[in-house]
Structure 1
């Protein structure tokens, strides 16, 4: 069963349908924050729009231009209305919206759920209806709602306070004649703590209210000495949350910082490829007029944009991980399978990927297309060899089955505790016992989640993850009994059917089951994409 904070199945379907009508695929466009922060003005946005139109970015799908913090005056009018800064925007935001619309763009805006924005400007708390009406009247159709300076309501927890405010915004926006796209930054104020229960709890209700979840940290701002580290930090937050994403609701790891001089071209390309593999928003925060031909080439790569905008909206999950390689995969609406491989090491390297790690039949043939070059590389079966991936580089391939019978995919990959970021590991020192270990041993850490509810290690497919009810979790010969069947909840719980208890990570790498608690650190797991949610 789903956790108590989640919608009933029928209500959840209705919410998902409504969100898909507002935002069927992840947004693409521009935001000023990471590159310019508060140094925004009318000219920045008109020049950005002109450059996006002339460079091919608009034609590639980047049709949203969003203002971030610091666009407004420091006080409201006597009737509570916000005003734009007339020095920064002398012709006004309605004029800017019309200018952008004539060019083929949509205008989005920033506000804060609290008493003040992060930059110290008037927040929306107590003025939600006025602000929503104002934004609609200005021709705006996208709202990023930040979460600075939110005072805890009397008798409410911080989580409850944020939920009340963001739910109130949802009620207002859903009644607008043309509902605004609602980007919710609430979870960013609960991530990275010693106890992630509140973070998970906020993530639980976001899809009920909006279309985007800004789930964690701001990506690197201009001048950051190590933007690659920041990108990888947001990447590691993103891979914890794939279970929440569905058509109409997207996990947002923040902006593409494609012009930062501290990044190599391979690192810039990697961020884009990983974000596209996640079906994440592709919002560029860069000086668009000065983007080089190499940056424009990858930002307008049609094959990768098609992956990002795929109708299934799946977020790629980890098929395997070791000290050098992250291998990610997901299904595409055409029946193809995506393979994305990131080299996290400081040197170029080569590798070989067994197709079984991607959930594919090892006996089928697959046509392979390199999504960077567009080249077809012939048919592959069994395993796929990848050569000379540069340091911090990412390669992406589309695998097309040679016949319909080869389209079957078994959810396959890592089972990762999303607090410790350690992986469920077979072949422990005590023989059949399963343990928790650093994600560095693909041969014993890749699991298949079968449609019958069994979970099998890829290396020993005749053995199933088993809860005897009186000791550590083991892998044992599959017999189809309830103690070998598991269900996976949106809350991240992996529950054994026989004992009714949840998979639990203990000290010293021990894996047991215990009474299911509410989204506690030791019991929340990320599973391979495609694992059924109960």
Structure 2
């Protein structure tokens, strides 16, 4: 046989090279990278767009990932979430992309994304239908996995709605393992994201099944949600590692519900927790600030570090947390996290971290790039809701590196006027090796304010770990509006043998309080000046369920349900500034039905005088009414106490009266009830007759009047509501609400409206989950409700209102309303 092309000698040489390569030990051969060896990075459309997903959106997002530099920073997955398919499978049983949304099909989108050097993700559900009611994959695992593989999909987010589950961990393992096996059978590498909301503690079983697993419920674009998720995910460090990651959900950075400081905390803590970095904002319209936060390569390097260790919690108390994460090059990443509402000095001794002993340490701030040195304590003044992250390594010669100087401050409430003002305390602490000299501190207050220091805000010399403490008297002009005002604290000093000048600054936010305006209002609509609680946060318009935000039920005392109130535990105190302008507080008090305990004693203080007290109230006892005379009081205090702190203690429907108003004046904010079910079902029907469901009046649950509505829900869910007899004008209203109590299997709650003569369907997409036998108010802001392109949600022309319920059990609802 003639050898064509290369000489025989060259061919023999090549074969020898191939044979020698094959003969190498397996470890010496270049193996393909393992899936999700570092936490996945990319984009998902849900947080910003909900069901409004399309081929155009995905392609344009891929373009921006490339043009913005985010692809080069490590973001590679472009993930499609729910609502991408038709409502029914095709004749062959396969999932069918919606041709209106994806005219080129998913395979065409995959080709486009791959050509950009990116990867494509898709969404599925381990139930009969997705959370938005599209076909689920339960019982179709192999067919769907092969379909996605054939299309070129690289990533699967696998949700948990309509799951037919008995609630056992064994069922969760079975359903999610079925898809794992189906993906393996395709032969295609597909990163597998388990999205069962942490329900079955997947961190204890999902390693080897999924590459990442959700540890919490859905994130929302607000500080309370972010703080709660950090608290839930941070302790799970032992369960994470290369190829198996704790997933605290997609990022909200850039969506507008939080401050830049909070968004920096978002990325900082996700990176420290080795979390997947999945962008959830419209990158096509992202601001330079948003792109700068998302593209912080120093933080991304910490998240993507090949060692693959989630940062461990070193200390956690009083809202301050320190995380320590080892890095592959021997550095440590140290995060100082402040979840409180004011500037705080967060510190950790180097000996409590994994740093090896040294005479000094170099700190590199991953946000500013500044380099400083410390002797034995890492410390910083961290703004409210902020996080400082350092890369830290031992330092042999600290003489040429500036010392770390922590500037802190404390400030109580500020009241305008000659008899008010406030007290500011500042601290300057030298943490570096060697003394600093000519130390002075200045407080830059808003125009018109004055800050008078005592003692002198100067010190000639400040040794290592020494502190300069200064107290300032603040005077604030009368008439200053209530609000938040920044005060910059700047320390100036000289350091090193050459006496180099340097400054360090922190910012504290002064809270100016003024008395409430005239009127009768629900106390839960007024923010307390201070709030202390024995267990978790004080909850607004719900009970205190436990340690996390928004984990309670509707306030329920001896079977009576309240829409408004404050959920506390015994061992709590709330303070409100009244300024001598309020006359009365009326409230019911009692121990919540959700958790037996007590007894609890409730006391209302007008300044330091007890204006009303309940005496001991036992669990199961009917609520006790309290009326407190607050005439002339500057401060209102609510105290719940008992011999056993932690009893769930409710202030139910507290109404504060201020100014000269009649007793029968309306209570603010006013609600406009749309459906109350007092005379029957109010004509409720189902939007999709083929999907099933029934309604009937019921006295078993009511938050207004004596009756509610019992809804028998289909497993996959349906919309319940009706067309209104005449258009309703909801101009001036900002949100829609309804109250519900779930049965044995829990439910998703959602709200939609139809508007205009065409009865256009507009929907929010929040899909609020309520656990079995739990209750809550489902809320949808009008600015969260999306209409089809070209349609404006005209609040003056509401034609129909619908609520979505699912999971195949009975759900009780009442009082569908606008506020």
CA deviation string 1:103-140 (max 9, x = no partner): 11100000001100000000001111110110011010
The whole-number CA distance in structure 2 between the counterparts of 1:368 and 1:231 is 27
Matches within 5 A, 1:33-432: 33-152=46-165, 158-186=168-196, 188=197, 190=199, 199-200=200-201, 202-220=202-220, 227-360=222-355, 363-377=358-372, 379-387=373-381, 389-402=382-395
2:614 alignment partner in structure 1: none
Q: What secondary structure, in the 3-state scheme, does the structure 1 residue paired with 2:313 have?
A: strand
Q: Is the 8 A contact 2:193 2:212 kept in 1?
A: yes
User: Structure 1 residue 346: deviation in Å?
Assistant: 1.6
Which structure has greater helix proportion? 1
The whole-number CA distance in structure 2 between the counterparts of 1:189 and 1:349 is 31
Identify which range, 358-367 or 167-176, moves more after superposition: 358-367
1:512 alignment partner in structure 2: none
Does 2:38 match 1:25? Answer: yes
Matches within 5 A, 1:474-513: none
Residues 398, 159 of structure 1: alpha-carbon distance in 2 compared, 3 angstrom cutoff:
same
CA deviation string 1:56-77 (max 9, x = no partner): 1111111110000000000011
Question: Which sections of structure 1, spanning at least 5 residues, go unmatched?
Answer: 1-17, 191-198, 404-417, 423-437, 439-506, 510-534
User: Structure 1 residue 173: deviation in Å?
Assistant: 1.4
User: Structure 1 residue 348: deviation in Å?
Assistant: 2.3
User: Structure 1 residue 189: deviation in Å?
Assistant: 5.8
The whole-number CA distance in structure 1 between the counterparts of 2:378 and 2:168 is 48
Q: Is the 8 A contact 1:353 1:384 kept in 2?
A: yes
Residues 381, 100 of structure 1: alpha-carbon distance in 2 compared, 3 angstrom cutoff:
same
Residues 219, 420 of structure 1: alpha-carbon distance in 2 compared, 3 angstrom cutoff:
closer
Q: What secondary structure, in the 3-state scheme, does the structure 2 residue paired with 1:71 have?
A: coil
Q: Provide TM-score, normalisation by structure 2.
A: 0.44
Runs (4 or more) in structure 1 with deviation over 4 Å come to 418-422
Task: Provide the aligned length of Structure 1 versus Structure 2.
Answer: 376
Which structure has greater strand proportion? 2
Identify which range, 100-109 or 313-322, moves more after superposition: 313-322
CA deviation string 1:65-98 (max 9, x = no partner): 0000000000011221000001111121111111
CA deviation string 1:243-285 (max 9, x = no partner): 2111111100011111122211000111001001111000000
User: Structure 1 residue 363: deviation in Å?
Assistant: 4.9
Q: Is the 8 A contact 1:73 1:82 kept in 2?
A: yes
Identify which range, 87-96 or 113-122, moves more after superposition: 87-96
Question: Which sections of structure 2, spanning at least 5 residues, go unmatched?
Answer: 1-30, 397-535, 537-544, 549-570, 572-643, 647-819
2:789 alignment partner in structure 1: none
The whole-number CA distance in structure 2 between the counterparts of 1:342 and 1:349 is 9
The whole-number CA distance in structure 1 between the counterparts of 2:340 and 2:232 is 19
Q: Provide TM-score, normalisation by structure 1.
A: 0.67
CA deviation string 1:448-495 (max 9, x = no partner): xxxxxxxxxxxxxxxxxxxxxxxxxxxxxxxxxxxxxxxxxxxxxxxx
The whole-number CA distance in structure 2 between the counterparts of 1:118 and 1:97 is 24
Higher Cα radius of gyration? 2
Across the aligned residues of Structure 1 and Structure 2, the Cα RMSD in angstroms comes to: 2.5
Q: Is the 8 A contact 2:126 2:161 kept in 1?
A: yes
Residues 385, 164 of structure 1: alpha-carbon distance in 2 compared, 3 angstrom cutoff:
closer
Q: Is the 8 A contact 1:19 1:249 kept in 2?
A: no
Q: What secondary structure, in the 3-state scheme, does the structure 1 residue paired with 2:170 have?
A: helix
Q: What secondary structure, in the 3-state scheme, does the structure 2 residue paired with 1:385 have?
A: strand
Q: Is the 8 A contact 2:355 2:393 kept in 1?
A: no
1:532 alignment partner in structure 2: none
